[in-house]
């Protein structure tokens, strides 16, 4: 099988027309809601994996989401627009699946490697779960602060907060070598995995330890740094789309509530103070939407800056939107049975993943030479 060499794969902006993307959105939303989400997230509180395997099998294998954004030679389909559309719908329903971490982050890393990555890309496209082990002790991607090392054949080190690590069949690892940072793949059977409790029941993570674990080297000469950096930027955009989906869902359910909740013989949505708060909330949502639409309509010439900007705004606005949803729902918004706190949990997780708003603003300032 022929396969794109390192740096030759360029993620297309889109492969489907707007109507087809709308159909894709509807299909993803329907699959998740018919599986009981977002309410079913409550059932994951004591789950060891935090993964709905049946839903992921449906999405990955029957619908083909595990191949979105991957090279055609690996069975892939679509580009950035499709990735963002899927991530937004999964975020709206809080679906507990590893699309962003396995398909997007790991998939984009592997897609930029040489032909030795082909078998692993095919495994991801087929629905297997890969977990990224590319972050430092704070869960951030920083080329100067990677804990794993490698002699070219084996990998050693510990990575905290590997998303869906307990469900992964293999890990995509960033490790220091004599020539710089390179990318390796380590099978889950050759790693020590300890699940971690998560504030967001649908976003589990694990501490993964590699102790001279056999590894397949996918880049040489320190080329792994640029490969991972670009993949992280795509993943940040996907997280921002997840944040948009969740923010919009919170806005919609809050708007529906204030239309029917009555106080002093009036719907509370008629109160001026409530109207102002909802207007501010809508601005948070639409600003994030416009940031993502800028990329999908204008291209990816400044992907790093766009990724940092959208992740920064998305992190802060999603947290603010979920807090407003809880407050405006009144007493019921604080109850365990209501879904408001599930979105609040996701907002906190999304903000921390790969760097919160402050981290991304600092990165943006560096990228723009401010």
Q: Please give the angle made by the CA atoms of 92, 346 and 94, to the nearest 5 degrees.
A: 35
Q: What is the pLDDT of residue 286?
A: 96
Confidence band (pLDDT; 50, 70, 90) for 182? very high
Q: Are 110 and 120 in contact (CB under 8 A)?
A: yes
Q: What is the pLDDT of residue 6?
A: 43
Largest CA distance in the chain: 73
Q: What is the pLDDT of residue 5?
A: 38
Rg (CA), the chain: 20
Q: What is the pLDDT of residue 66?
A: 96
Q: Are 137 and 199 in contact (CB under 8 A)?
A: no
Q: pLDDT tens, 278-318?
A: 999 999 999 999 999 999 887 777 899 999 999 999 999 99
Q: What is the pLDDT of residue 8?
A: 61
Q: pLDDT tens, 227-241?
A: 999 999 999 999 999
Give the contacts of 369 (CB within 8 A, at least 6 positions apart): none
Taking Cα atoms as reference points, which of 214, 195, 235, 196 lies closest to residue 86?
Answer: 235
Provide the residue ranges of all domains of the chain, joining segments of one domain with +: 231-367
Mean pLDDT across the stretch 21-25?
Answer: 95
The answer to whether domain 231-367 has CATH 1.20.140.10 is yes
Q: Which helix (H) or strand (E) holds 360?
A: helix 357-367
Taking Cα atoms as reference points, which of 150, 105, 153, 93 lies closest to residue 129?
Answer: 105
Q: Are 96 and 41 in contact (CB under 8 A)?
A: yes
Q: pLDDT tens, 324-336?
A: 999 998 888 889 8
pLDDT score of 137 more than 90:
no
């Amino acid at each position: 099988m022929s396969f794109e060499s390192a740096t030759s794969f360029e993620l297309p902006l889109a492969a489907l027309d707007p109507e087809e993307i709308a159909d894709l959105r509807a299909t993803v939303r329907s699959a998740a809601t018919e599986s009981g989400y977002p309410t079913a997230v409550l059932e994951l509180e004591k789950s060891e994996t935090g993964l709905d395997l049946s839903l992921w099998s449906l999405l990955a294998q029957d619908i083909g989401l595990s191949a979105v954004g991957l090279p055609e030679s690996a069975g892939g389909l679509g580009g950035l627009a499709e990735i963002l559309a899927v991530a937004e719908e999964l975020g709206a329903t809080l679906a507990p699946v590893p699309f962003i971490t396995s398909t997007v982050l790991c998939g984009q890393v592997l897609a930029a490697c040489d032909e030795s990555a082909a078998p692993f890309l095919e495994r991801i496209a087929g629905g297997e779960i890969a977990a990224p082990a590319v972050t430092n002790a704070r869960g951030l991607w920083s080329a100067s602060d990677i804990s794993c090392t490698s002699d070219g054949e084996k990998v050693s080190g510990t990575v905290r907060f590997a998303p869906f690590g307990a469900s992964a069949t293999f890990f995509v690892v960033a490790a220091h070598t004599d020539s710089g940072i390179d990318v390796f793949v380590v099978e889950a059977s050759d790693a020590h995995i300890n699940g971690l409790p998560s504030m967001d029941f649908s976003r589990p993570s694990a501490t993964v330890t590699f102790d001279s674990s056999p590894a397949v080297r996918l880049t040489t000469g320190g080329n792994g740094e640029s490969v991972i950096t670009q993949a992280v930027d795509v993943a940040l955009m996907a997280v921002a789309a997840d944040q948009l989906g969740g923010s919009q869902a919170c806005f919609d359910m809050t708007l529906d509530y204030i239309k029917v909740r009555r106080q002093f013989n009036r719907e509370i949505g008629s109160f001026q103070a409530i109207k102002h708060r909802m207007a501010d909330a809508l601005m948070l949502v639409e600003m994030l939407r416009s940031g993502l639409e800028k990329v999908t309509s204008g291209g990816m010439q400044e992907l790093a800056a766009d990724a940092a900007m959208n992740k920064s705004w998305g992190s802060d606005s999603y947290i603010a939107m979920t807090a407003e949803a809880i407050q405006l729902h009144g007493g019921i918004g604080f109850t365990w049975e209501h879904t408001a706190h599930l979105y609040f949990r996701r907002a906190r997780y999304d903000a921390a993943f790969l760097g919160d708003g402050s981290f991304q603003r600092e990165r943006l300032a560096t990228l723009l030479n401010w």
